[in-house]
Amino acid sequence: MALIVQKYGGTSVGSIEKIQNVAKKVIEEHKKGNRMVVVLSAMSGETNKLIELAHQMTADPDTRELDVLMATGEQVSIALFSMAVKSMGYDACSLLGFQVGIRTDQIYGKARIQDIRTERVFQELEKNRIVSIAGFQGLDEEGNITTLGRGGSDTTAVAMAAALKADVCEIYTDVTGVFTTDPNICPRARKMDYISYEEMLEMASLGAKVLEIRSVEFAKKFNVPIHVRSTFSNERGTMVVSETKDMEKITVSGIAFNKNEARITISKVPDKPGIAAAIFNPLVKAGIVVDMIVQNTSEEGLTDLTFTVAKADFYKSMKFLSDVAKGIGAEKVLGDENIAKVSIIGVGMRTHAGVAQKMFTTLAKENINIMMISTSEIKISCVIEEKYTELAVRVLHEAFGLENGTQI
């Protein structure tokens, strides 16, 4: 008898029929004698609708109230799911984040889980009930409702699995597993049987939304094996696990892309100590996260500084920086929203030379200009024009032999 945590995403619970289908799947596992804890997302599109409502009310919704509003989406799903289970003759109990005791910090909209109580869930399981838990939400120490950031139900599921010491955490979604790249963009993408936590962390942070990044951080920290699989088939999915020796044989295991960043250049910045701090400190204070940063070599004591920020922060950043630029005597601030970051990822890169060169050559052959580059031990990212994203993903996928798993 196993303790299984399953998570179903928005598309898996997008209608009454779909929720009934999920209830049937969960009951099947329950009938085998397994104890079932089910984390649900809001029905597809609901969280966006709630955010839209808030913006109809005011241009800049209060963050505390926005969390109260957004958290309602998941409440609907777990209530309907429990009704479905009960109507099928089995016992169930739905629980909100605060009822479970999911404690977070107070960063509304992006709260971090700090602690999870398990008593209530175990009590309900003892009563032979199927327990459903609202994903994406928690409670801060003052008793305010918080949400964990978009895609946060994945994190709820993995954190619950860690806290309950579950045997497995299954993430059910609308694709059959983690692919070499987004299968909705590249039809030749191949499903992987295994991926390491490290690679999955990079894939998630570089734009592959199949798993939310914090869920992978949790899984890695507490060694929770994740099985990513489809709600709509019984096919075996992808196991996200610790790195094995075999994985190092493969140089590049996946490609990710992110169209949600914008590029900002501050030109002719005086090249002297304290300038980077003067530029980035106001952004940090405003909660704006800067990603890639490139500084050119200095000519006559002046340099250009280029970096990327989330598109959502672009206008705010441009406004801040035009003041900063004046203050430090820089020439001007230029912005470009039509960019994308395309990244290749693989733990095998650590020991293989020539990977970067192959990436650059492949893009060059298609006449795709590289505007920025950043590397780490297991990834290389290039910023390119947004309109070339799909093309870049496809040609890189082919160049690195990801389709059939044979690589240089």
d(CA 165, CA 35): 12
Partner in contact with 97, chosen from Mg ion, ligand ASP, ligand ADP, none, beta carbon below 5 to 8 Å by kind: none
Upper half-sphere CA count for residue 214 (Cβ side, 13 Å): 18
Strands (E), 54-173: 92-95, 102-104, 113-116, 130-134, 137-139, 145-147, 168-173
Site string for Mg ion, 136-155 (x = CB under 5 A): ---------------x----
In the complex, minimum distance from the CB of residue 41 to Mg ion, in angstroms, rounded to a whole number = 7
Residues near ligand ASP (CB under 6 A) are 9-10, 41-42, 47, 73, 135-136, 150-154
In the complex, minimum distance from the CB of residue 136 to ligand ASP, in angstroms, rounded to a whole number = 4
In the complex, minimum distance from the CB of residue 13 to Mg ion, in angstroms, rounded to a whole number = 12
Partner in contact with 210, chosen from ligand ADP, Mg ion, ligand ASP, none, beta carbon below 5 to 8 Å by kind: ligand ADP
Between 164 and 210, whose beta carbon lies closer to ligand ASP?
210
Partner in contact with 5, chosen from ligand ADP, ligand ASP, Mg ion, none, beta carbon below 5 to 8 Å by kind: none
Distance of CA 338 to the CA centre of its chain: 21
User: How many residues bind Mg ion, per CB under 5 A?
Assistant: 2
d(CA 188, CA 203): 18
Q: Which residue is nearest to ligand ADP (CB)?
A: 9
Partner in contact with 348, chosen from ligand ADP, Mg ion, ligand ASP, none, beta carbon below 5 to 8 Å by kind: none
Partner in contact with 81, chosen from ligand ASP, Mg ion, ligand ADP, none, beta carbon below 5 to 8 Å by kind: none
In the complex, minimum distance from the CB of residue 364 to ligand ADP, in angstroms, rounded to a whole number = 25
Q: What are phi and psi of 362, to 5 degrees?
A: -60, -45
DSSP string covering 257-320: EE--EEEEEEEEEE-STTHHHHHHHHHHHTTPPEEEEEEPPPBTTEEEEEEEEEGGGHHHHHHH
Residue 56 class from Cβ within 10 Å (0-12 exposed, 13-18 middle, 19+ buried)?
exposed
> Is residue 73 within the footprint of Mg ion (CB under 5 A)?
no
Residues near ligand ADP (CB under 6 A) are 9-12, 41, 151, 173-175, 178-179, 181-184, 203, 208-210, 254
Helix (H) or strand (E) holding 49: helix 46-57
Q: What are phi and psi of 24, to 5 degrees?
A: -60, -45
Upper half-sphere CA count for residue 122 (Cβ side, 13 Å): 9
In the complex, minimum distance from the CB of residue 232 to Mg ion, in angstroms, rounded to a whole number = 15
SS3 label, residue 251: coil
d(CA 128, CA 3): 12
In the complex, minimum distance from the CB of residue 89 to ligand ADP, in angstroms, rounded to a whole number = 28
Between 183 and 335, whose beta carbon lies closer to ligand ADP?
183
Residues that bind Mg ion (CB under 5 A): 9, 151
